[in-house]
Amino acid sequence: MYRETGRRFDGFRKDKQIEALEARIEELTSTQPSVPSSVSRLAASVGSDIPTAREDVIDRHLLGMDDAESFVEIFKNKMIIHFPFVVIPRSVSAAQIRREKPFLFLVVLASSSYVNIPLQQQLGKEVKEEIATRLVINGEVSFELLQGLLVYLAW
């Protein structure tokens, strides 16, 4: 009355391959002695060369403090509605943001300098270098870094 069924479904082939690879990785990591990651070794080897207080874009004369103040005002007046995760009170100056949250300051400058495209591109490169240094090399984690990354990604 009923037709005889064929082979029984035993999972997808890709699932089995993934499981086999995961098992192999687990086996390899359990047999290897604990070795610091390449990023940790790199950070340890160059860690002494990294200055504690880096010069920012103002110190290196990429733009002046007056320009920075106007870009921060542009951000506060026109752009902040697009970034609800960043709260910058109207009373806070660019110098104060620069002092207290230097990475966020850099990202605010980069995102609000759209009136000067070559400067914006240069600031964008600075942001990428700062991300590489702080996150990848130094392994830094902070709320300021999160806010800056969110602004950078949304911009």
The domain in which residue 122 lies consists of 65-154
Band of residue 127 on the pLDDT scale cut at 50, 70, 90: very high
Please write the tens of the pLDDT for every residue from 46-81.
444 444 457 888 988 889 999 999 999 999 999 988
**pTM, to two decimals:** 0.63
User: How many domains would you assign to the chain?
Assistant: 1
Please write the tens of the pLDDT for every residue from 87-106.
888 899 999 999 999 999 99
CA distance 148 to 139: 15
DSSP for 2-18 reads PPPP-SPP---HHHHHH
Of the listed ranges 4-13, 38-47, 127-136, the one predicted with least confidence: 38-47
Is 136 part of any domain? yes
CA distance 107 to 102: 9
Is 59 part of any domain? no
